[in-house]
Amino acid sequence: MFDPRPLVDIATAIGREAGALVQRMRASAVVSFDTKSTSTDVVTAADRASEQLVRTRLSELRPGEPVLGEEEGGTVVEGLTWVVDPIDGTVNYLYGIPWYSVSIAAQLDGESVAGAVFEPATGRMWTAARGYGSFLDGVPLGVSATTDLSLSLLGYGFAYRPERRQRQADTWAGMATRVRDLRRAGAASLDLCSVASGRLDAYAEHGLGRWDWAAGGLIAAEAGAVVRLPGSSPELGEDATFAAAPGIADAMYGALAECGFGKV
């Protein structure tokens, strides 16, 4: 039987190396950046350097296996593909907010089987191997036991395009009276890890790249969360990512749909 755990070891080791690089770059210079899809969608020199390091190390440790990365692209193929977000939470990184990650996942035929999400600012390492559970620094993770939607903490995010942000804001306004509270932390991989650890009871966002959810989605699922990746939530929109503790998953999914999440 295929054992994905050695792939987690590789993702963990490389994630730490790339994380150390982005920390050095953050500490040593004013962070320069370019913009991508909009003036607020930024990429820094550290994003590029981190992805370069990950690609180089994967070519050494796993020669010939394809890589899909946020900054240099690539495709997911049959068989094994590495999926990399060199800095997830780039805006946080740019502003010096210590909530960003290096996210590395291994996918088999497009399904995540191993993942590591490393927090350079704290040294925390989130990991999962399909079928073997998920961990924070080696300690097993489990989602929250909440069963009351009105007492749940919901994480979310915004797209970069202004016209979509307004529609999303209307949805979150509708959700504000249905849950305990809302959190917008700015790094999807860590939002998904927060669901895995019970720091959030649920998380939902549109428009994520595969690199944003490839590792964090597996970590959340292996911790017991209901996880619906893009393309599997018709009522929430074809590009929706959803993760929730099982005790509130159906109620949260329905409330988001009622508040127009599927129409943004």
Residues in contact with ligand LIP by the rule CB under 6 A: 70, 85, 88-90, 157-158, 160, 186-188, 205, 212
- 201 annotated as belonging to a binding site for a ligand: no
* Min CB(70)–ligand LIP separation in Å: 6
Q: Classify the phi-psi angles of 110: left when phi > 0, otherwise alpha if psi is within -120 to 50, otherwise beta.
A: left
CB nearer to ligand LIP: give 90 or 107: 90
Q: Is 85 a known ligand-binding residue?
A: yes
CB closer to ligand LIP, 117 vs 255: 117
The C-alpha atoms of residue 206 and residue 216 are separated, in whole angstroms, by 15
Q: Where are the beta strands (DSSP E) in the chain?
A: 33-35, 42-44, 67-69, 80-88, 101-108, 111-118, 125-129, 134-136, 139-140, 153-156, 181-183, 202-206, 226-228, 240-244
Closest CA to 172 of 151, 203, 214: 203
Is there a binding annotation on residue 212? Answer: yes
Is 239 annotated to bind ligand? no
**Nearest distance in Å: CB 88, ligand LIP:** 4
> In terms of CB distance, is 50 or 152 closer to ligand LIP?
50
For ligand LIP, which is the closer residue by CB, 115 or 157?
A: 157
The residue number with the shortest CB distance to ligand LIP is 157
- Spatial distance between the Cα atoms of 26 and 155, rounded to a whole number of angstroms: 26
Annotated binding-site residues read: 70, 85, 87-88, 212
Annotated binding-site residues for Mg(2+) read: 70, 85, 87-88, 212
